[in-house]
Amino acid sequence: MSWAFWRRARRNDELEEEIRAHLTLAEREAVESGGTPTDARSAARREFGNVNLVEEATRDSWGGRWLSDLLQDLRIGARMLRRNPGFSLLAVLCLTLGIGANAAVFSWIEGVLLRPYPLVTHQDRMAAIVGTVRGADRDEMSWLDFQDLEKRSTLAESFIAEKITGATLSIGDRAETAIGSVVSANYFSALGLHLALGRGFEPRENVGRNAHPVAVISYQFWQERFHGDPAIIGKTQMLNRVPHTIVGVAPEGFYGTFVGYSWQFWVPMSMQETFDYAGSYKLEDRGARWIEGFVMAKPGVNRAQLQQELSAIAARMETEYPDTNRGRGVQLFPLWETPFNGAGLLGPTLGVALCVVVFVLLIACANVGNLLLVRAFSRRHEMTVRLALGAGRGRLFRQVLTEGLILSALAAGGGLVVAWWCRNLLPRLIPPRSAPLRLVGELDWRVFVITALVCVFSTLLFALVPALRSGKADITGALRAESSGVVGGGRKAWFRSGLVVVQVSLSFLLLVGAGLVLQSLHRLRSASPGFSTDRVVATAFRFSAMGYDAARAKNFEDDLLARVQALPGVESASYSRTVPFSLLGFSSAAVAVDGYQAPRDQQPAAEYSEVSPGYFQTMGIPLVSGRDFLRSDDENAPPVAIVNEVMVERYWRGADPVGRRLQVSGKWLQVVGVAKLSKYRSFMEPPQAFFYVPLRQNFGMLASLEVRTAAPPQTLSPLLGREIRALDQNMPVYEAISLREVVNRSMAAPQVAVMLLTVFGSLALTLAAIGLYAVMSCAVSQGTRELGLRMALGARASDLLRLVVSQGLALTAGGVLLGAAAAFGLTRLLGYLLYLVSPRDPFAFAASSAVMAVVALGATILPAWRATRIDPVRALQS
Amino acid sequence: MLPRKQRYQDRIQILQGTLDMLILQTLQWAPRHGYALSKAIRANSGEIIRVDTGSLYPALHRLERKGWIAAEWKASEQGPRLRVYRLTKAGRRQLIPQRSRWQRLTAAIAGILNPANARSET
């Protein structure tokens, strides 16, 4: 561009020289034919005509005119903006907030949902794969099924199996926990990653029970734990009490394939048993479902085609392995809907955030549009003069648009800086958890392009109308005295009032949204999940990771329980595999009941938990019938179960099932009790069929200890740690947190939504208040003459005050009505976040109206007060 | 019925074409600079056609861009540098159709102005 620019500058000089020569020759001739030099010069000039116009017309014939026009427009625009720094600053600030909020949310969506795995090539071809159960929910997949799918699929390039896992990491005599993943051997090559050091896994490392204790560690882990030791390859690291040879270091900037956490290590598939939570070996069991995976489609294959092929394969496997696969299928999800990591959790919330920031942008644009219109009024003179001097109306139009573009380009720059700052903001909106969250916004070229588009789009929004008006400047009209009144006003005032109404309605909408989610969060905080939360503390053990066998684990549990029950303030204590609302989740099993006929091709299933005697007492879950598990319900006793009320309704039609039989995964259990319904995974879930079995009859190597205490829960944590260490110095002590905390941690999505809606809602409110203030101030200053006249005719200050304030409130009322109508239709979108709150909750609507009214009053009172200070004499003279 | 804007552009094109032909015709005999060209056109038309500089220079630059004429800077005796235009081969080729078009146009106009003559000619 600069080359074209310089060439053009040279041609300009040449043109001037050419015309000078013309004038000189003409002048010389006039002198020769007997004129005085002065006369000759003016005659030559007269003959020639307007030098500037001729130059201009000639330049037009060069082509490429738009470029020089653009440069000129930019120059003029920049000059105009410098001349009104207050206006420019306010406009750029408004737009920076609007565009910045958008850029930040785009970068989150890009970094968390669309391309969550840095360095992984072809994320657009990657899909998450999960198993499905007919008539129930989704499930994990078995390794054998996964391998069969991989073998038979022709449309997939690769299948990546993995399972997130925690590991105990022994360094010297200290035990720490690390987070990592068991992966299929093709993991690094299928993702297109080049390791920083060493190698990825080899196909043979998929096979053999615990046969290949090798690990790849993350770059960060290598730096922090091994200080970037260049000779790290070949060294060993204890993971879950097994020495693993480090064979590779993952590339810098790769954090694994789990939205929310960054991984520290990877181990190959053959090591599954070592890293299983419950310590069971699952690689050769088609019924053991534990894998979460991804599929990389071949280039040009879309998800629907791949889904079709995989469903067909799964259907064939149903008939080949009816015992394990009846009613089982597979389902592909785009990465942003991945159900087994943070993407599925945050997806809808980021969608809501996107709507919210678009609203903020619209409000900001309305504000800037308003400012531009006010300024267009004061620039009427300039525009008229330019028109009179022959500027084309199209040119003026372009000039105003260019000025708008400068504003929003500046704001887009600022907005990207804002987005850069907000890159790491997401984890801070979420309640803290044991491992640090990694949810980072990504500012790549796609985000830049979208931000540029937003910039152009918003320019069109806020500058189009002022630009269209600029060409309509009325040359003769400008010479006449033009005054507009406070009441009525012209078309322009009408349009600007319309903008304010839109602003008010949009911010009202956001206020209602914020009100709804706030109320919902409040209800969630005080809601009862059906078990005690405040006085129960829980902590976890992973016996398999410590190399315990079942007998040793049982001994440890018995010893610890005795010690804990002796602690001051402890009322009761118990074990279970896991606690409700935890990320770990419950197991699910196929169930059958005498006399209950399930719909064909459906497999009735329910989730269950393995619990010790005293669990119901500790958790505060009432038994409505029958008895609790006893110590005698052990390995040698007949298997028993306690079912919940939903199961009673569904399978026994409400009749008391105590004494009846329940079949679980083909094994018959005796029902000994009925527990009250509670919440198991989240508050939002519908009533779930659920049952309990004794821990001793279904022992696992993973356990959670629950303690009901009369003392404050915080005081219990150090005591628990002391007792655990007294039994086994090496047993890692996980934090002991109250169940209230466990429940709160599960509320990430509503929490993020509340934060975003509150922050952006107040931002929107501020912007709308500024808009209202600007319109009212402008109406007062432009209506000075009318107000003065009213005053001269005897209006009192209070009358004028009322006049202006009522104008402002009328605009606000219009906006609130419009916003309420929109909110009525739109708040349904928040439904998934709302707990016991109707999307049309009258309280949220009323409170938002009240807030809006107060803000509007605040924004109009100053202009109104100024109206009362008008000096009628001066106003009428002007 | 053409939209108004398009009709307006047609009119402009006819006028432009005329000026272009005058320039090409005048440059046929010798290269000239802008001032000399305007004097030559005026003299050759018996002082009737005065080419407006606001049309002349845009036309010269436009023809140069089309490659029908070429320009080069030449020093004049005791005076400023002059930009001298000469007819190129492409320009010379243009001259014939331009002239025949003009002749058809003048005949047509003459026919309109003097219908009797036109009929007797055909």
A511 and A409 within one domain? yes
Q: Does the beta carbon of B32 lie under 8 angstroms from any beta carbon of chain A? A: no
Number of domains in chain A: 4
Provide mean pLDDT across the span A462-489: 59
Hey, are the CB atoms on B83 and A14 less than 8 Å from each other? yes
A156 and A40 within one domain? no
Q: Does the beta carbon of A65 lie under 8 angstroms from any beta carbon of chain B? A: no
- Nearest residue to A57 (alpha-carbon basis) of B62, B58, B13, B35: B58
pLDDT 10s digits, A776-827: 887 787 777 788 888 888 888 888 888 888 888 898 999 999 999 999 888 8
Q: Which of the two residues, A176 and A402, has the higher pLDDT score?
A: A402
pLDDT 10s digits, A730-749: 787 777 888 988 888 877 77
Residue B97 lies in a domain: yes
Residue A489 has pLDDT above 80, yes or no: no
Residue A85 lies in a domain: no
Return the number of other C-beta atoms located less than 10 Å from residue A275's C-beta: 24
From A58, which residue of chain B is nearest by alpha-carbon distance?
A: B58
Residue A280 lies in a domain: yes
pLDDT 10s digits, A79-114: 888 888 888 888 898 899 899 999 999 999 999 899
Hey, are the CB atoms on B53 and A60 less than 8 Å from each other? no
Residue of A45, A56, A58 to mutate when probing chain B, most B C-beta within 10 A: A58
- pLDDT at position A268 is 96
The single-letter code of the amino acid at A246 is I
Min Cα distance A28 → chain B (Å) is 10
Share of chain A above pLDDT 70, in %: 94
Complete DSSP assignment for A498-551: HHHHHHHHHHHHHHHHHHHHHHHHHHHHH---SS--SSEEEEEEETGGGT--HH
Categorize the per-residue pLDDT at A430 as very low, low, confident or very high, splitting at 50, 70 and 90: confident
pLDDT 10s digits, A264-315: 999 999 999 988 877 788 899 888 888 999 999 999 999 999 999 999 999 9
Min Cα distance B49 → chain A (Å) is 14
Q: Does the beta carbon of A56 lie under 8 angstroms from any beta carbon of chain B? A: no
CB A265 within 8 A of CB A178: yes
Number of domains in chain B: 1
What is the SS3 assignment for A127? strand
pLDDT 10s digits, A679-729: 998 888 888 899 999 999 988 888 899 999 988 888 888 888 889 888 988
**Residues of B in Cβ contact (< 8 Å) with A62:** 61, 65
Hey, are the CB atoms on B54 and A14 less than 8 Å from each other? no
Q: Which of the two residues, B119 and A462, has the higher pLDDT score?
A: A462
Q: What is the pTM of this model?
A: 0.75
Residue B5 has pLDDT above 50, yes or no: no
A517 and A548 within one domain? no
Q: By residue range, what is the domain housing residue B106?
A: 17-121
Min Cα distance A12 → chain B (Å) is 12
What is the SS3 assignment for A868? helix
Residues 6+ apart with CB under 8 A from A757: A352, A356, A510, A513, A514, A517, A518
Provide mean pLDDT across the span A625-648: 93
Q: Does the beta carbon of B53 lie under 8 angstroms from any beta carbon of chain A? A: yes
A142 and A279 within one domain? yes
Q: By residue range, what is the domain housing residue A694?
A: 536-709
Distance CA A656, CA A652 (A): 7
Provide mean pLDDT across the span B96-116: 83
Q: Smallest Cβ distance to B35: which of A14, A22, A57?
A: A22
Q: Does the beta carbon of A71 lie under 8 angstroms from any beta carbon of chain B? A: no
Q: Which of the two residues, A139 and A413, has the higher pLDDT score?
A: A413
Residue B2 lies in a domain: no
- pLDDT at position A628 is 94
Q: Does the beta carbon of B52 lie under 8 angstroms from any beta carbon of chain A? A: yes
Residue B72 lies in a domain: yes
Range list of β-strands (E), A556-631: 570-576, 587-592, 605-611, 623-626
**Residues of A in Cβ contact (< 8 Å) with B61:** 58, 61-62
From B53, which residue of chain A is nearest by alpha-carbon distance?
A: A48
- pLDDT at position A272 is 93
Residue B93 lies in a domain: yes
In the structure encoding, which two tokens stand for residue A201, read together? 């896994």
Residue A585 lies in a domain: yes
Q: Does the beta carbon of A25 lie under 8 angstroms from any beta carbon of chain B? A: yes
**Residues of B in Cβ contact (< 8 Å) with A26:** 35
CATH number at residue B31: 1.10.10.10
A369 and A256 within one domain? no
- pLDDT at position A560 is 93
- pLDDT at position B12 is 41
Whole-number mean pLDDT of chain B?
A: 78
Q: Does the beta carbon of B54 lie under 8 angstroms from any beta carbon of chain A? A: yes
Distance CA A736, CA A738 (A): 7
Hey, are the CB atoms on A22 and B65 less than 8 Å from each other? no
Handedness of CA A439, A441, A446, A447 (dihedral sign): positive
**Residues of A in Cβ contact (< 8 Å) with B59:** 61
Distance CA A777, CA A729 (A): 73
- Nearest residue to A537 (alpha-carbon basis) of A769, A734, A397, A351: A734
Residue B16 has pLDDT above 90, yes or no: no
A61-75, A107-121, A478-492, A516-530 — which is least confidently predicted?
A478-492
Whole-number mean pLDDT of chain A?
A: 86
Hey, are the CB atoms on A49 and B54 less than 8 Å from each other? yes
CB A470 within 8 A of CB A403: no
Q: Give the count of Cβ contacts less than 8 A between chain A and B.
A: 60
Q: Does the beta carbon of B3 lie under 8 angstroms from any beta carbon of chain A? A: no
A794 and A769 within one domain? yes
